Structure 1
Amino acid sequence: MSTERVTRPAPTTASATAGQWLAGLLLIGVTAAAAVALTRVTGRLPHLLPGYAHWQRQAYARVPQFLRWWIGDTTEAEFFKTALGGLGMLAGGWVAHVAWRRGRRWAGFPVAYGTGLWPWLVGSALLGLLLSDVAWGWTLPASGEWQPTFVPFVSVPPAIVLIYGAGRTVATTGAVLGAALTTPVALLVVNCFCLPLHLPTVIGNVTGMWVGALIAFALCRHLPWMPPTLAARSTPAPDSPDGPAASRPDQGPGWVVRRVLADFTEAQFYGNELASIGLVGGTVLTFLLNPLTPVYGGGMLPALLTAQVIAATVGVLVYRRRWAEDGWYPTFVPVVSVAPATVLTYGSTVQAVVAGAVLGALAGPPLAAWISRRLPADFHPFIGNVVSMTVCTLVAIPLLGTLPGFTAI
């Protein structure tokens, strides 16, 4: 827990609340208009990148294709699967880290939640992802289907760094545990549960993350080379899933837009606007180069992005007081679970885009926060977030399928 004094914001006035909602509605409107524009350019531009199906077939054929696949895995949590988006996110994260270290106001929300651990966090995550792709990549050609080899990048490796701190021993241990524990569980659940029952594969992905994390953090208690946790060393550490209890900024209209944007990289433990701009910008560029490359070649990026922005906006606005009181709240949960899963299951219809986003935004964050508060101090609270993703997606997708207008594609 942080020992810093919490500065509470002034009570929100009616005019301030109206400004927040107006900013949110404007953001959704701009996103929807951009989505329509992107849809209209589909097929009009030359395809300068190979499509997803070709990319997957060639992923392990040559080293350059494998490296592209590996970097593309860094955006799997958002369902984007794009190397350009991954490079943009990593570049944006680096810029945000350097700017934060230099005290630049334009750095945005502190990357890696102001811990200064971003280099170690991303290094451990990339190494864990590489080990996962090398160790479990054989499942891709063996099954001919997409496989969840990306899961270490957004789970155990960065979480262990945030709990135990910097250092090669910590980063390497996190990477190895992530590849050894999260990926096989995710593979098992995806292939033996999700695919046979025609459920979204995100259920298997996030189940692998929380099951693997529970085992990994329990093991870390007994590994003799692991240092004491940051909390045990009396070092101020995050007291919420991803943020220290420092002074809270005014939650004006600009804050709403920035917070929604930052939610796009919360799954990677960045939580920063610059990283998100790189992620979304690189993904949109990929779509323009070939609309059949991102989002697994389905051409559904415009609808997916719209659903994700709606989910983040509704969550941030509905739970803005929790943001003010706690300094951090898991409003990103539906952005990487229920909202995109609904679109991929039921198509790019208006009802699928809106219903999945709103339902996920209302149910996901409070369940995640409730679970996270009940975890041991040396278990990173991200576990509560991914458990919430599992539960909400497992309930919401079949429930929506019982309603008129929702037909699985």
Structure 2
Amino acid sequence: MTRTTKNLPNPVISTSSTAVMRWLTGLAMVAITATLAIVLTGVSSALPQLLPNYESWLSEAYSSIPQFLRWLGGETAEAQFFKTELGGLGMLLGGWVAHRAWKRGRRWAGFPISYGTGLWPWIVGSALLGLLLSDLVWGWTSVVTGTAQPTFVPFVSVPPAIVLVYGAGWSVAVTGAVLGAALTTPIALLAVNFVCHPLGLPAVTGSVTGMWGGALIAFLLARRLPWMQPPGGDFSPDTPETTGQQSAPAGTSTAPSQHGPGWVVRRVLADFTEAPFHGNEIAAIGLIAGTVLSYVLNRLTPVYGSGLLPAVLTAQVLTATLGVLLYHRRWVEAGSYPTFVPVVSVAPATVLTYGPTVQAIVVGAVLGAIAGPPLAAQLSKRLPPDFHPFIGNVLSMTICTLTIIPQLSILPGFTAAT
């Protein structure tokens, strides 16, 4: 009897061991990313420049149809601060592969793309149409100012969110696209040009303000449109499929013991594509691979030609890893948690504001990971049932960037980059 008891696995020890392995895996991910970033930074000056730099790209964006389409492709990866057409194309191709694999029940499909709703084609279609309309209607602002404007915002806000709430169909997809271009972009333009630039605030603050401000109006209007009816006549915010948060892949347990090292790696990667409502690691691999390739072809093309991709990517991996590890219990209990929030806001914005220093990378990533996800979760809970919870996520980004990044300037070693 005693021998049998000793041979049984101790559930407490097993759980503790799994937790240790998760943290070690996270540490390894950050270390590998930082090492590769250092190597990439060191060799970048010797690499051939086969792509036009960002300034040339911007100046020609509206000069011809091919350049315009290339600019649109770059905007599909702008929410992650990458702004590269190769990254955007890689994400969309990876999303298509993940969608096909999910439909066929492949286990390697990863986290069910677009939260297992099967709406990925409609989400992407509406988002791309909204992006096209945004650039056609508001692209003149980039020409007049000579600087990039936040015309990308519909791609990651109202159009896909409308589809997730109201379901598939041309009327829904087109309505979402029109509302996104008509509402989110002008609000973002006003916030960026008349608030952020004059006050020296990160431009992302204005961009995400356009997203949540436009979304609040869009969902209020959608209530009054006779052709906009939620599937089944109701919208419940309590499930991953309808909240726009991540659900576990088919056949995968949500028990803590199943959330081991592999889950950490996959979850961190998937967080890179939560902003465009993909939430899938295959799409993320396409996004990151395409962006790194763009940097290799010309380091002054991605991330607005700043040359900061290695530092930005390191900060993003660090903040995503910390968020996933710190709020792992939330993932287990709810099946989802907005740990992606600092990946597309505080962490990269801190690097762009203060430069590629160790303190900017670490402090921005840590503070963003601690503050962003729980604030987003609380804000999303307080929305009406027919308002997509992404509104709370982007509102959290506004609050965190406004309260964290400017305050860092009082700390030693934090000097705004010129």
Report deviation, 1:240.
Answer: 3.9
* Structure 2 match to 1:334: 342
| Structure 1: distance between partners of 2:84 and 2:58 | 12
* Structure 2 match to 1:215: 217
Whether 2:261 is the aligned partner of 1:259: answer no
Aligned-residue CA RMSD (Å): 1.6
Report deviation, 1:42.
Answer: 1.2
Q: Aligned AA for 2:171?
A: T
Report deviation, 1:227.
Answer: 2.2
| Structure 2: distance between partners of 1:231 and 1:106 | 34
Taking structure 2 as the reference length, the TM-score comes to 0.93
Change in CA separation of 1:210 and 1:274 when aligned onto 2, cut-off 3 Å: same
Contact 2:244 2:277 in 1 (8 A): no
1:225-244 deviation per Cα after TM superposition (whole angstroms, max 9, x unaligned): 11234562899872544245
Q: Aligned AA for 1:66?
A: F
Contact 1:163 1:230 in 2 (8 A): no
| Structure 1: distance between partners of 2:41 and 2:384 | 46
Partner SS for 2:46: coil
Uncovered stretches (5+) of structure 2, i.e. residues with no partner: 1-10
Report deviation, 1:175.
Answer: 0.2
The ranges of structure 1 where at least 4 consecutive aligned residues each deviate by more than 6 angstroms after the TM superposition are: 233-237
Aligned residues: 400
Contact 1:267 1:336 in 2 (8 A): yes
Report deviation, 1:191.
Answer: 0.1
Q: 2:228 aligns with which of 217, 226, 229?
A: 226
* Structure 2 match to 1:354: 362
* Structure 2 match to 1:128: 130
Report deviation, 1:145.
Answer: 1.6
| Structure 2: distance between partners of 1:146 and 1:55 | 10
Partner SS for 1:93: helix
Partner SS for 1:13: helix
| Structure 2: distance between partners of 1:58 and 1:107 | 38
Report deviation, 1:46.
Answer: 1.1
Q: Aligned AA for 1:70?
A: L
Report deviation, 1:14.
Answer: 1.2
Q: 1:63 aligns with which of 65, 70, 83?
A: 65
Q: Aligned AA for 1:130?
A: L
* Structure 1 match to 2:161: 159
Q: Aligned AA for 1:36?
A: I
Contact 1:229 1:378 in 2 (8 A): no
* Structure 2 match to 1:33: 35
* Structure 2 match to 1:242: 245
| Structure 1: distance between partners of 2:293 and 2:235 | 44
* Structure 1 match to 2:146: 144
| Structure 2: distance between partners of 1:229 and 1:199 | 41
Whether 2:402 is the aligned partner of 1:407: answer no
Q: Aligned AA for 1:19?
A: M
Whether 2:372 is the aligned partner of 1:369: answer no
Report deviation, 1:390.
Answer: 0.1
Q: Aligned AA for 1:365?
A: P
Taking structure 1 as the reference length, the TM-score comes to 0.95
Q: Aligned AA for 1:51?
A: N
Which stretch has the larger CA shift, 246-255 or 58-67? 246-255
Contact 1:28 1:306 in 2 (8 A): yes
1:131-179 deviation per Cα after TM superposition (whole angstroms, max 9, x unaligned): 0011000000101122000000000000000000000000000000000
* Structure 1 match to 2:5: none
Which stretch has the larger CA shift, 116-125 or 234-243? 234-243
Change in CA separation of 1:286 and 1:339 when aligned onto 2, cut-off 3 Å: same
Contact 1:306 1:353 in 2 (8 A): yes
Partner SS for 1:146: coil
Whether 2:327 is the aligned partner of 1:316: answer no
Report deviation, 1:248.
Answer: 1.9
Q: Percent identity?
A: 68
* Structure 2 match to 1:24: 26
Contact 2:114 2:277 in 1 (8 A): yes
* Structure 2 match to 1:186: 188
| Structure 2: distance between partners of 1:307 and 1:234 | 35
Contact 1:73 1:150 in 2 (8 A): yes
Q: Aligned AA for 2:254?
A: R
Contact 1:85 1:280 in 2 (8 A): yes
